[in-house]
Amino acid sequence: MVVCASHSPGMERDVDRVFGTTFRTGLARASSIVREFDPDYIVLFGGDHRRAFRHVVPTFGVALSAGIMAEAGHSPGALNVPQGTARGLAEHLLDSGIDISVCRDVQLDHAFAQPLRDLTGSVDAYPVIPLPINCATAPLPKAERVLAFGDAVGRYLSGTGDRVLVIGTGGLSHSPPSLEVDTYDISDEERARIIAEGSAAARKKIKPAWDKAFLHASATWDREALARLTDSAHADAGAGANEVRTWLAAGAAGGGVPLEPLIYEPVEEWITGMAVAVSA
């Protein structure tokens, strides 16, 4: 089963749940579907916001052990990574011609934590294999290679006989001020300053037409259209739209079945076009 969902720090800060009510409704539906599916474990494709990977940035990674950093009022936590399965996946990917980096004890941010909390209730509800994709630090992988990565993951999963939930998280259109600047090693204080100064402008950078085109291509699993939209995402839909690479990888890992949109809502207060889609 595949679920793809947007994430946003703004959603975390909206503790009174004032904004994004339409999106939250769709997210709750996806959560119910996930709980009914009750997977053996989760394979989670996520990006990084130059937090876990600053000086060495893997294009594709397989985490053999990982935790969640303290963020947005949440305490740090450990992920239960099924190491044998993760190791087998890493070996399969290398044998398939997909160059990956093996990561140990990597501390991941809300790109991984938020979808786990939103869809399963907590970061440790199920075992999870985190698969980082570079969506933030140029040069980025081309969509064709992301799809090949997802295809190879799917071939491994199909041979396990396991009940697996595949998650892709990020996007859709948005341009966070901290990702618009080409810097890799800034303090949390400097990051906060950049975000605060650019937040008003970022609210106006959502591109609903691009989002809908991407969701339509996902719903029909039009690989050519998805690749075209992804490779031009930064120019057409903002720096944060590069995260749709995780949707491509997740969909491909799920066998390329159509991803049915449950909801779409552009939420200016969260500076993001928010969507949820599930495999049909």
**Domain at 17, CATH number:** 3.40.830.10
Q: Is 49 a catalytic residue?
A: no
pLDDT over threshold 90, residue 187: no
Which of these is catalytic: 7, 49, 92, 110? 110
The catalytic residue among 49, 92, 174, 234 is: 174
Q: How confident is the model at residue 51 (pLDDT cuts 50, 70, 90)?
A: confident
For 79-109, the pLDDT digits (tens) are 999 999 999 999 999 999 999 999 999 999 9
pLDDT at res. 72: 74
Would you call 74 a catalytic residue per the annotation?
no
Q: What is the pLDDT of residue 186?
A: 73
Q: Quote the CA–CA distance of 165 and 247 in Å, as a whole number.
A: 13
List all residues 6 or more positions away from 110 whose beta carbon is below 8 Å from its beta carbon.
7, 9, 12, 49, 71, 72
Q: Which domain holds residue 253?
A: 2-279
pTM for the whole thing? 0.94
129: β partners: 43
Phi then psi for residue 74, to 5 deg, are: -95, 145
Domain total of the chain:
1
Tell me the C-alpha distance between 68 and 87, whole Å. 20
Alpha-carbon gap, residue 148 to 146, rounded angstroms: 5
pLDDT above 90 (res 226): yes
CA angle 29, 13, 140 (to 5 degrees): 80
Identify the pLDDT of residue 272. Answer: 97
